Amino acid sequence: MSETCIVDLKARKVFDSRGSETVEVEVYTRKTVGKASAPAGASKGKWEAVSYPEGGVEEAVRRILILVKPRLIGFDSSDQVNVDKALKEIDGTINFSKIGGNTAYAVSLAVADAASKTLGIPMYQHIGGTMVKNLPYPLGNVLGGGKHAGEGCPDIQEYLVLPVGAKKFREAYLGNREVHRALRRILEERNIPFFGGRGDEGAWAPRISNDGAFEATAEAVKRASERLGFEIRFGVDVASSSFWDEEKCKYMYKHGKPLDKGEQIDYVLECIDKYKLLYVEDPFHEEDFEGFRELTEKAGDKCLICGDDLFVTNVERLRKGIDIHAGNAVIIKPNQIGTVTDAYEATKLAQKHGYVTVFSHRSGETTDGHLAHLAVAFNCPIVKIGVLGGERIAKINEFLRIEEHMGDQASMHRVGVK
């Protein structure tokens, strides 16, 4: 029996950054133990894997012990592909409704953690290989609305900054932090009521219109770029499925009039041009492949048009988008699809066809730092990670450790549009 052989599994309920219950899994090899926990999203695509089986986290823990544990004991933890294949066979559904996508992800990730610890190498090298040397740029949420904030906040869910001029990850994070701090000063200067409140991901949550948020973020980006001496750009996650009315066929903005599909395209194009946006995520609802295609055709040479709810890290939905050139970037969230292997396959398919891959946290996170290793191992040029909050800083600090481990070999990805 090899040292990487799985000899035991344990599972328990823990809490995420919103205080909600989630699952944590421990995988034991003959030499050590790997541990991982699952995040949770507030804004979910309807095509995502089912988070937990009926009965919630408690039932997920029970099924790990009675269904998953007996099957995986004896597997080689370093054989990630076969472990993940076994998880899909144990579940037996197309959307992980039997054991839960979050359950599968926590087990899958804990297996990877156990293997890398047993082998004595960082997880990013265990999964990505010893030649991995590029770090992603952090995409940080500085102003929030939608499902991540309260009443009176913008309809647009996230105003995001990307420090494309930074040379090191540490410098890049400081760029995002500086924008976040500058934005607070600007909100106070403009007497915007928010009392220092922050949303789920640590972004400011002021009572402000969509356009007011654009103006404030643009000014914060300008001040931070000038102060630090390198270029910072910004973008948005519209999360438009959250205010799309299927019966009326309109986007029902609270801060503005309802917009039909054509008007929504015009509005997004206007924002891209006016604010020189580098990134726009989910500008249309989760079934509108054609809207993504049209916007990509009109603005894809200067802006990343990114699908999250549209693709949900699903290879089949991604292939559909690739076929018609819907978007030029994709969000990668492993718990949307269930396993590390499935997320890796979606990432490689996207990269093969020229899509920029954006590895992403969820709004409900734990202090698990493995996200950093997966983003590096998957060779993603951007990581959506937040700016403040202990659960976000845990990942940011892990990137710093990876950068230190890489030494002189470490470099930042190039971020461009195609």
Q: What is the pLDDT along the chain (418 residues), one digit of tens a residue?
A: 699 999 999 999 999 988 889 999 999 999 999 999 988 766 556 777 788 888 999 999 999 999 999 999 999 999 999 999 999 999 999 888 899 989 999 999 999 999 999 999 999 999 999 889 999 999 999 998 877 566 778 889 999 999 999 999 999 999 999 999 999 999 999 988 776 667 767 788 888 999 999 999 999 999 999 999 999 999 999 999 988 988 899 999 988 899 999 999 999 999 999 999 999 999 999 999 999 999 999 999 999 999 999 999 999 999 999 999 999 999 999 888 889 999 999 999 999 999 999 999 987 888 989 999 999 999 999 999 989 888 999 999 999 999 999 998 899 988 766 5
**What SS3 state is found at 354?**
coil
Task: Check if 178 is active-site.
Answer: no
pLDDT at 417: 61
Half-sphere exposure of 380 (CA within 13 A, CB side): 31
Report the candidate in 337, 308, 353 with the shortest Cα–Cα distance to residue 139: 308
Q: Which residue is catalytic, options 44, 333, 384, 395? A: 333
Whose tokens are 């992603």? That residue is 136
Q: Are 361 and 200 in contact (CB under 8 A)?
A: no
Q: Which residue is catalytic, options 201, 281, 365, 398? A: 201
CATH 3.30.390.10 residue ranges of the chain are 6-120
Q: How far is CA 175 from CA 111, 161, 162, 168, 231, in A?
A: 34, 9, 8, 11, 9
Instruction: In whole angstroms, give the CA distance from residue 174 to residue 179.
Output: 9
For residue 135 the two structure tokens come to 């770090």
pLDDT at 148: 57
Beta bridge partners of 357: 330
CATH of 6-120, picked from 3.30.565.10, 3.20.20.70, 3.30.390.10, 3.30.70.890, is 3.30.390.10
CATH 3.20.20.120 residue ranges of the chain are 134-412
Q: Both ends of the chain: CA-CA distance in Å?
A: 49
Residue type, 181: R
Eight-class DSSP state of 76: B
Would you identify the CATH topology of the domain 134-412?
A: TIM Barrel (3.20.20)
pLDDT at 415: 79
Task: Check if 286 is active-site.
Answer: no
Q: How far is CA 359 from CA 116, 139, 191, 311, 330, in A?
A: 20, 10, 35, 13, 8
Instruction: In whole angstroms, give the CA distance from residue 284 to residue 292.
Output: 7
DSSP code string of 291-309: HHHHHHHHHTTTSEEEEST
Residue 228's CB: how many other CB atoms inside 10 A? 17
Q: What angle do CA 403, 131, 386 make, to 5 degrees?
A: 35
